[in-house]
Structure 1
């Protein structure tokens, strides 16, 4: 159906941008979860980002039954952020969902988030929700926010002005977000110079706009080996360099002592992560940024000092993680 302006006012269209890279085992389920939404005005844009495992062929076969899907088939991997921006350039919906090809939307997600968005008053850019984590086989691993018997989050989830909370900790489950397309366009989409998208998008958008939490599990988030959060401990990962760039963006946007304090806490965490990943020069760069905010404490000073000796700590750290796996707080951001 054409997305005329009138129809978009009556029942807003939603653009689901699904990016896929070597996820042939899951991509059909992800696409089917969009098709099975109980909300009528949904367009699906799929970008295969140079997969070598047959994912693109699975998508093409799926499209035989759903020809309205828009499909971009990249011959090589152009990076997650650029691939998403390719889809964003085609999107016509008022709202956008960034869907990884191994995640699943529950059938009522789009309807409930659109209805919630439309009831909000004020400069809201994002509606986000709770999620259930699943393993590669689909087994339930628990929820992002702990819930009571009725499925409601046990703790208060930040809403409204969330700039300081997003500096403090990883609290938004990224694939649960529904975003306003005009805000994404205003920001120039995702930053294609970075290795990942969420922390940067939060920093840039939360300074200008508000976020709202819808207290329901509406997404299944798959935990797979080789995910970004697992790669952050590897010596050759590019994620930490991207995080340093985003921390500088955040520093330029902080306006209150509480915000600078929250950023300092984040920087201290990434001094440790860079050290454990044996990216010692990067740890020192995080330390330089920290000194713009505060004098490093004992622990940070110790790690920064040890970074100058280039100690072989990564293998020991990875062995430690096998015996003492970290929780949600050790995710990428």
Structure 2
């Protein structure tokens, strides 16, 4: 299990400004690149908490070597694979800083990532829940595939409007790898032991406050490859076991997700009864609009593909 004391101890100095939690399982292929991109940040006042979920490849050797080179790194190894959800949540519970960021073993940060996010946070009197930069997707070799064109920028003062906008932006949600205001994140359920629990986390975040998407060049690179969780695990049962090896599905993933969304709206603190009802309506209408938009896009592609075949 992660021991919080080594992570929290910074002899002779104050707590860091940012805690970065890196949960990993068998990440040896890309882990070293990810660590270098974190350690090369212009903003250096951070702690890096690595939790190894009982990896069986070279992950432990890489982590041990880097922890010996940089005092900002704390490495801990789970006694067995506890699943991604618990590993993600454990690094958060060990964090000590005002701001928190999850990092993945296969993603990369540009050197200005933390600087831009922290500067934006500090420009607000009341901090948003998440600040995250423009992102792009890369392949196994680091070649850019495409830009992430979704923007979960939800700065309205109305929780219901924020919910509607967040629903439209859910996909490969790069915002969950942005920088969080740690006290706000602590008010959520964190990562749940069910499929698409990151969607529920983001819903809870927009119920609590704004998510800010920075303008400018991409500073985050999300790697798409065959061994990433959604690619390597083909069935819903396999994906569920990735979140929690002991989990057993009694409902379909869509049924569970609907229940969790509703529970979040009526369980998160700080909302009035009217706000909860408006958010529930906004959630339903948001998904209806999203489904209609996806269906319209599919019809457009079918039409244009048909036109091309006729032309040929």
TM value normalised by structure 1: 0.68
Residue 225 of structure 1 corresponds to which residue in structure 2? Answer: 226
SS in structure 2 opposite 1:87?
A: helix
Residue 170 (structure 1) shift? 1.6
Does the 8 Å contact 1:203/1:249 carry over to 2? Answer: no
Does the 8 Å contact 1:131/1:176 carry over to 2? Answer: no
Residue 5 of structure 2 corresponds to which residue in structure 1? Answer: none
Q: In the alignment, is residue 130 of structure 1 matched against residue 125 of structure 2?
A: no
SS in structure 2 opposite 1:100?
A: coil
Q: Determine which structure has greater relative contact order: mean sequence separation of CA pairs < 8 Å that are 6+ residues apart, divided by chain length.
A: 2
Counterpart Cα distance in 1 of 2:203 and 2:40 = 33
Counterpart Cα distance in 1 of 2:110 and 2:58 = 25
Counterpart Cα distance in 2 of 1:120 and 1:242 = 37
Give deviations 1:161-190, integer Å, cap 9, x for gaps.
431122234254245411111112222433
Question: Could you say if the C-alpha distance between residues 2 and 157 of structure 1 is closer, same or farther in structure 2, counting changes exceeding 3 Å?
Answer: same
Give 2:48's match in structure 1, choosing from 39, 44, 50: 44
Residue 244 of structure 1 corresponds to which residue in structure 2? Answer: 255
Q: In the alignment, is residue 158 of structure 1 matched against residue 162 of structure 2?
A: no
Residue 130 (structure 1) shift? 1.4
SS in structure 1 opposite 2:75?
A: strand
SS in structure 2 opposite 1:75?
A: coil
Q: In the alignment, is residue 120 of structure 1 matched against residue 116 of structure 2?
A: no
Does the 8 Å contact 2:176/2:198 carry over to 1? Answer: no
Counterpart Cα distance in 2 of 1:235 and 1:35 = 35
Residue 145 (structure 1) shift? 1.9
Question: Could you say if the C-alpha distance between residues 195 and 77 of structure 1 is closer, same or farther in structure 2, counting changes exceeding 3 Å?
Answer: farther
For these two proteins, the number of residue pairs brought into alignment is 258
The 5 A counterparts of 1:251-330 are: 251-252=262-263, 253=265, 255-256=277-278, 257-264=281-288
- Which aligned segments of 4 or more residues in structure 1 are displaced greater than 4 angstroms? 238-243, 264-269
SS in structure 2 opposite 1:248?
A: helix
Does the 8 Å contact 1:13/1:42 carry over to 2? Answer: yes
Where in structure 2 are there 5+ consecutive unaligned residues? 1-8, 157-161, 241-250, 266-275, 296-304, 306-312
Does the 8 Å contact 2:22/2:50 carry over to 1? Answer: yes
Residue 113 (structure 1) shift? 0.3
Question: Could you say if the C-alpha distance between residues 268 and 247 of structure 1 is closer, same or farther in structure 2, counting changes exceeding 3 Å?
Answer: farther
Where in structure 1 are there 5+ consecutive unaligned residues? 147-155, 273-323, 325-333
Does the 8 Å contact 2:52/2:76 carry over to 1? Answer: yes
Question: Could you say if the C-alpha distance between residues 159 and 235 of structure 1 is closer, same or farther in structure 2, counting changes exceeding 3 Å?
Answer: closer
Does the 8 Å contact 2:195/2:239 carry over to 1? Answer: yes
Residue 248 of structure 2 corresponds to which residue in structure 1? Answer: none
Does the 8 Å contact 1:132/1:141 carry over to 2? Answer: yes
